[in-house]
Amino acid sequence: MVVNDSLCVTIPEPEKLNLTPENIPLDVLYEDEHLIIVNKPVGMVVHPAPGHYTGTLVHALLYHCDRLAGIGGVERPGIVHRIDKDTTGAIVVAKSDRAHQHLQAQIKAKTARREYWGLIYGSFPSETGKIDLPIGRHPKDRKKMAVVTKGGREAVTHWQTLERLGNYSLMQFLLETGRTHQIRVHCAHQGHPLLGDTVYSSNRSLKVNLSGQALHARQLSLIHPISEKPITAIAPLPNEFTKLLQVLRNRTN
């Protein structure tokens, strides 16, 4: 038995953020002192990563928001969830540790509702359905994700056909989980990849120029971490998506 023993714990000083704020315009859908929801444009990476050390959403947020540095992490301050570089739409960012923890808990508990709209090749056989297939690293191409039989993580995507447009379909997707490239991988695995997805669409082509895949985080619904009131933010469709949708409708008619 040890008597009068003591344990000394040294807490290191907070690591300084080595990022320079950048004056990049933001399309703000909602903002208060606790959180901000923005409509992310195509081509913008959410946080710094190899090959993307400037021009990210984090750099823009550090310029736009006071006291964001250090919230939830050094390189990803305030980031609660992510959206692919070439996917557009609503993303929430916390402005305090309390808000960050609360919002992340909502994502983990699947109480936050994340609705996407996407344009796919072909059409699903029914109007609604669910894809429940695990996702992990592609066994041959480590830069890609894939539906895997071993070592994958649970991935569940709910889908609804909003409009059939000849050889294409406008879809609504609801995420139950948030795996990397989840909607893109699930759709491609079903034989209906997203238009403009050069990574997972394998030799499919459409004579319309797109800056990225036709996938948009249209609506984000959550509970405010402080007031506990519901918040719903709707991100308008980007011009490219709207124009492509009109082209497909014109072809169908």
Does the structure show a pLDDT above 60 at 14? no
Using CB atoms within 10 A of its CB, is residue 86 exposed (0-12), middle (13-18) or buried (19+)?
buried
Buried b (16+ CB within 10 A) or exposed e, 236-249: ebbebbeebbeebe
**Tell me, which fold does domain 28-252 have in CATH?**
Pseudouridine synthase (3.30.2350)
Average pLDDT over residues 218-240: 97
Res 18: pLDDT? 73
Task: Write the pLDDT tens digit of every residue in 184-200.
Answer: 999 999 999 999 999 99
Domain boundaries, the chain: 28-252
Compute, in degrees rounded to 10, the torsion defined by CA atoms 207, 200, 233, 161: 70
Is residue 84 annotated as a catalytic residue, yes or no? yes
Does the structure show a pLDDT above 60 at 214? yes
Buried b (16+ CB within 10 A) or exposed e, 67-78: ebbebbeeebbb
Cα–Cα distance between 192 and 185 in angstroms, integer? 10
Res 49: pLDDT? 85
Closest CA to 38 of 49, 22, 25, 47: 25
Please tell me which residue in 5, 66, 84, 141 is annotated as part of the active site: 84
Average pLDDT over all residues of the chain: 90
Closest CA to 45 of 61, 67, 68: 61
Does the structure show a pLDDT above 90 at 237? yes
Average pLDDT over residues 94-110: 93
Res 9: pLDDT? 66
Mean pLDDT check: name the lowest of 9-18, 116-125, 137-146, 243-252: 9-18
Res 220: pLDDT? 97
Bigger pLDDT: 161 vs 140: 161
Against a cut of 0.85, is the pTM above it?
yes
Average pLDDT over residues 11-16: 52
